[in-house]
Chain A
Amino acid sequence: MTARRGWPDPAMLATLVVVVIAAVAILFPIYWMVITSLKLPRDIYRTPSLWPSVITLDNYRVLLTEKDFLVPIRNSFLVAGTVTLISVIIASLAAYALVRFRFRFRGLVGKLILFAYLTPASLLFIPLSIMMARLQLGNTLTGLVLVYLTFSLPLSTWLLQSYFRAVPRELEEQALIDGMSRIGALIRVVLPLSAPGLAAVAIFTFTGAWNEMLLALVLISSDSLRTAPLALNYLITSDVLPWGPLMAGAVLTSVPLMILYFVAQRFMVHGLAEGSVKG
């Protein structure tokens, strides 16, 4: 039809300009995070420049040895991993029932899950901290896992429903005819067929817990139980100029996740496009 060959037409040129501006706007903060983490203090504070005179891993050394950053990383892994495991198992059962069966209270349960999903932590952190204190779970990672279920469970149930719905009912009925139980059909037919969905939900749940800060701030008071966001938060409030080690921590806690997203984004976009993943 119209020009799509030869010299770029004005529309194509405009597209190119937009893409370049967007690329710079997205990359500059990421570049600044990485490059600050690799700078010596004098290249950050005394003679700042866009490109440092010396590239150093000293900030990482300070962070990991002097600030013991491996402890919060480990705590974050522990909490996020446990939350993901529990959420995905319980949510699979619930989502399966909601998608496949017409039962009493189905509408009500669906609505409850959705409401819970949309109820923000900022409304819940005060009562949750009182409840956890009463249960003797204040300032424990177990308590943190429990309160993280407030957002992860509704999220995974809600997302899994859309993945389960895409599994053809016929395959499952065939499995039932072949003598499998309902749970057998769920485990051996529905779950394998929704594997990409499960992976996406697991990643969303994991990152949700990995990124959470407000509830952790309220619940955790011991240094040794801090999660990664907490450790970095307290780094800013310390008295020495922390930008180098702070950005080293930012790189360590985000780059693995960003690579994961970049690789898995094809599966993730489906869930995101359901209009339902916290941004």
Chain B
Amino acid sequence: MTDPTASADRPRRRPGLTGERRLSAFALLLVAPAVLLVVGLVAYPFLFSIWISFTDRVIGGGGAFIGFDNFRYLSGQAILGSAARNTIVIVVVTGILKLAIGLGLALVVNQHIPGRGFLRAFLMLPWAMPAFVAFLTWRVLYQPIGGGFNLILTQTGLYPQVIDWLGQRPTAMPSVIAASVWRGFPFWFVSILAALQTIPRDLYEAAKVDGATRWQQFWTVTVPGIRHVVIVTALLSSIWTANAFEHVWLLTQGGPSDATMVFPVLAYLGMQTQRIGEAAAVSVVMLPVLAILVILATALLQRDDDR
């Protein structure tokens, strides 16, 4: 790129600039503000949070070390079991649905169809909507009075009775899941679409020459081509969904009774009862599983990064 003769009569670099040590010090200086803030605002509170969970701290108080008492107390509470079960259900079911919808739409948009660019932008709209707006809107949609879904069902005669979607056990969880999928599928769609676009067309041609059907092409060319992205997306999406707060908080606040209770909402409610130690313990309960997901995701993302 650069013309080697252009700077022939000038020193190529100022002396000292290439010195390993000086460069290293300079680089550390550049990353220092970010590192200090991250250590102070993420690493320290992270460890602090684990410490608090082993204390009997209340708001405004210091709190003494009480070992595993908070965890022992929590394990006796039925609501912790509900939170664990609901969190897993939401992560797994929304994950599968977002994968299916995201993959399906990505395959559609990856074809040669008119208006692809527009279609891609359009399909991302739910994700462009702030989460709190999306879930407030869905809350209104689910209302027995003034809600869009009941209006459609009753006016078209599909179902004569008004359903209190968020207010009764059988429909509350599916309602939360549907809203989460609506807001979350574009992330999967765009990630998978980007992966699809990196698969060389020749591979499909070669498979066709070998006599592969479309179905076989999908399994031998498409799936290997997007597998890595799907795994990374699944990990990230699981971490975020397991720790999401708005979807449940704005739709049901964990109710009815604890039918849609999840860890982050339980921890938040715990904090409002002033018993900080227990609340921290609630969020720390998730940590082992979360840590595995985070370590896996970090490894995969850093591998991509080095490529």
* Chain A residues proximal to chain B, CB less than 8 Å: 4, 12, 15, 18-19, 22-23, 25-26, 28-30, 32-33, 36, 44-45, 48-50, 90-91, 93-94, 96-98, 101, 103-106, 109-116, 118-131, 146-147, 149-150, 153-154, 157, 161-162, 168, 170-171, 173-174, 176-179, 182, 207, 210-211, 213-214, 217-218, 229, 232-233, 236, 241, 243, 246-247, 250, 253-254, 257-258, 260-262, 265-266, 269, 272-279
Contact = CB atoms under 8 A, between A and B. Distances in A.
Contacts of B304: 274-275
Interface stretch (B46-54, B71-79, B167-175, B217-225): B46-54
Given A26-B182, A32-B137, 10 more contacts: A22-B105, A109-B35, A114-B301, A119-B42, A124-B45, A168-B1, A177-B7, A213-B245, A250-B133, A265-B121
A191 B127 CA distance: 28
A279 B187 contact: yes
Q: Which 4 residue pairs across A and B have the least CB separation, nearest first?
A: A279-B187, A120-B243, A273-B194, A261-B128
B289 interface: no
Given A15-B113, A126-B283, A279-B127, A90 B2 contact: no
Nearest to B130: A211
A93 B12 contact: no
Contacts of B213: none
Contacts of B158: none
B93 interface: no
A45 B152 CA distance: 15
B254 interface: no
Interface string B180-193: 00111011001100
Given A110-B302, A112-B43, A170-B1, A273 B191 contact: yes
B80 interface: no
A253 B112 contact: no
Contacts of A111: 298, 302
Main secondary structure of the interface of B (DSSP, over half): helix
A36 to B, nearest CB: 6
A263 to B, nearest CB: 9
Interface in B10-38: 10, 12-14, 17, 23-24, 26-28, 30-31, 33-35, 37-38
Nearest to B118: A262
A94 B31 contact: yes
Nearest to A170: B1
Contacts of A229: 130, 132
Contact of B38 (A22, A49, A112): A112
Nearest to B263: A122
B239 interface: yes
B232 interface: yes
B136 A250 contact: yes
B31 A262 contact: no
A38 to B, nearest CB: 13
Contact of B145 (A45, A94, A150, A211): A45
Given A32-B140, A118-B298, A154-B38, A254 B240 contact: no
Chain B interface residue number, banded: 35 or more
A105 B191 contact: no
Contacts of A157: 34
Nearest to A259: B128
B31 A170 contact: no
B290 interface: yes
B81 interface: no
Interface in B53-76: none
Of B113, B137, B263, the most chain A CB neighbours within 10 A belong to: B137
A110 B44 CA distance: 17
Interface in B110-168: 111-113, 117, 119-134, 136-141, 143, 145-146, 148, 151-152, 155
A257 B133 CA distance: 11
Contact of B23 (A26, A44, A101, A109): A101
A232 B133 CA distance: 9
A118 B49 CA distance: 16
B207 interface: no
